[in-house]
Amino acid sequence: MTQIIVAKSAGFCFGVDRAVKLCYQALEKYSSVATLGPIIHNQNVVDDLTRKGARIVNSISELHPGECVIIRSHGVSAEVYQQLKQAGNPYVDATCPFVAKIHRIVEKHTKDGDFVLIAGDEKHPEVEAIVGHCKDNCFVFESEEGLNNFFQKNLLNPNKKLAIVAQTTYNILVWEKCLRALPKDNPNIMVYDTICHATQVRQSDADKLSRKSDLMIIVGGRHSSNTVKLYHVCNRNCRSYHIENSDELYTLDLNNAEKIGITAGASTPAHIIKEVQQTMTEIMDNNNVEEDINFAEALDQSFKKIHTGEKVKGIVCSLNNTEAIVDVGTKHTGYVPLNELTDDPSKKPADVVSVGDELDLIVTKINDQEGIVTLSKKKVDEMKGFEEIIKAKEEGTVLEGTVNASVKGGVIITYAGVRVFIPASQSGLPRGAETDSLVKTQQRFIILEVNEHRRRAVGSIKAVLKAEKDAAREAFWETAEVGKTYKGEVKSLTSYGAFVDLGGIDGMVHISELSWKRIKHPSEVVNVGDYIEVYIKELDKENNRISLGYKKQEDNPWEKFKANYKIGDVIPVTIVSITPFGAFAQIIDGVDGLIHISQLADKRVENVKDIVSIGDTVNVKIIDIDIENKRISISMRALLENNDEDTEEVADEEE
């Protein structure tokens, strides 16, 4: 019997998964969306996004006015960011955080005058983007030979520093050879290990699996760099095939293979890997089936007795609105009622199965007198599903299913025919929230407990959300730095500030950072659900705290005041508050001045309210400015004194 093994690390990596999710989110938010090149090297995913409205463009000049553009996980050059800024189109930067880290490394070394060596395919979009952050002060090499040629032909200043980075999907085995080829003990050569950890694990797993296999199937796009590298890793150890989907399996020579391994590139969705695995299993099963069954055996089979609870195979002969009629290979006519085909009452039998389908069924009732046997497909699905549930529990696999109902204490998700109970505490909702909001939604979950005797399972949505949040948090801290700008969603408001989701991790904008004006509550500036642009003010990784800024320096009213006002200016102001020692008056929005009680009149004032009231507009003279401490002194008395002096001067002239 042929053994088929799927590598544990096959399929989507964090960066690709993030880019695809951001693209789907943009399609929901914007009326017009374009991706700058195919979002990933997987035609199935690209076709689905195209059907949903995401068109592909090759340059910024092809964008429609106002169209949102998605920067794919490969990243883009510094020039493209400049073009986007000039075009004014909204954009979503889905650059993989690990690629963005390489951009920062090469930008820094380029700025310092260092030379950059890049290990990778110079025609790959990721490498082209990296080169675009080096200002041509770089060299790309694909192999150990290319690196050696560089050192032989380039007589660089021995004091000039070299920085070496690698494409995130670069072949780890070739990278190790290149490192061994570098000049030893040279302090001017700085090596950065920028190969994505997920890529390293995927290639390592593929290498190990291919060493134990007779044949390897590598699934992924033809133009996917990391998939091609997986093929080369595997092909060194055994016969290997690179395919894009399960249909190609029928064209391959799968003979003489007792152990077949399957792996997939970072751009390959899980459902395609599963299809390949299932198709491979079917092909190998068919190859092992004895096709010659003589007539006598077939006749004996037709008289075979079947029993309640027995598992049988049936071929669908016909369908009506209430049941499927099947041939189970005996003298009985088999019937599968609609409620034993599916739990969905809105479906008809023809929506679930087709004539000619071979089904695994459980016998639920036998009527020998009428030659009828009643069967259930659901029970078999449940048995198979429960086996999957047990396996998922053992392996910690993340499953996906629809929430069917909200029940006391939690919700029910049906997965492969099995009802999985998700306690309210594991639903991912806040304490006390209504679980009804989850009904009819797709949720990812893991299995926490399995009761094999009662065929019950308990799962957790919360654990998956936490794991995804932890991964996003790790990626965030990998790239976060003070001053970096993000676009995030306002998740909650408190009396002291707003919490903003930066993509799996929250930061806080203190109320003082929301506006240059004095505000009593953050809701005066932002609301829950708003998408706002913020920047990092402070980072505290140890305590997982991120302080954000929102107000912009160019909106600082004190800067406007400093540019337009000076001591001695006479200006109109509005009284905004009164204290025992004077009155505060608004000069411009966000800047108040103090009229001290001694500056209200040219006589002694006992009560400020005797002179001014809130809302009054009065003329004052600026007598002192302290920008550093944000204090401005203004005077009504100074104007009265000026008037008196003017009057005295007129009187003297008349005399």
Judge contact between 403 and 412, C-beta under 8 A. yes
* Among the listed residues 65, 95, 96, 97, the one whose alpha carbon sits nearest the alpha carbon of residue 80: 95
C-beta atoms surrounding 179 within 10 Å: 15
Taking alpha carbons only, the member of 199, 263, 195, 197 closest to residue 226 is: 199
Q: In terms of DSSP bridges, do strands 456-460 and 418-423 run parallel, antiparallel, or are they unpaired?
A: parallel
DSSP-assigned beta bridge partners for residue 91: 69
Kindly provide the residue ranges of all beta strands, DSSP E only, lying in 480-530, ordered along the sequence: 485-494, 497-501, 506-510
* Neighbouring residues of 230: CB distance < 8 A, sequence distance ≥ 6: 202, 203, 206, 218, 220, 263, 264, 265
Give, as one character, the DSSP assignment of residue 553: G
C-alpha distance from residue 162 to each of 136, 143, 152 (Å): 14, 17, 15
Buried b / exposed e across 453-488, counting CB within 10 Å, b at 16+?
eeeebbbbbbbbbeeeeeebbebbeebbeeeeebeb
Buried-exposed string 274-289: b where 16+ CB fall within 10 A, e elsewhere: ebbbebbeebbeeeee
Q: How far apart are CA 273 and CA 219, in angstroms?
A: 7
**Residue 108 is inside which H or E element, if any?**
helix 97-111
How far apart (Å, rounded) are the C-alpha atoms in residues 430 and 437? 12
Looking at this protein, which amino acid is placed at residue 380?
Answer: V
DSSP symbols for 418-446 = EEEEEEGGGSSSPTT--GGGGTT-EEEEE
Beta-strand pair 631-635/617-626: antiparallel
β-bridge mates for residue 414, sequence order: 402, 419
Q: Please report which residue ranges of 306-399 form alpha helices under DSSP H.
A: 349-352, 378-395
- First-residue to last-residue Cα distance in the chain: 127
Q: Which of 67, 126, 244, 340 is the catalytic position?
A: 126
The DSSP secondary structure of 577-627, one letter per residue, reads EEETTEEEEEEETTEEEEEEGGGS-SS--S-GGGT--TT-EEEEEEEEEET
Answer for the pair 363, 309: CB distance below 8 angstroms, yes or no: yes
Place of tokens 């938010």: 29
Q: Is 126 noted as a catalytic residue in this protein?
A: yes
> Cβ atoms within 10 A of the Cβ of 394, count?
10
Query: H helices within 182-246, ranges in order?
Result: 197-212, 225-235
Which residues belong to the active site? 126
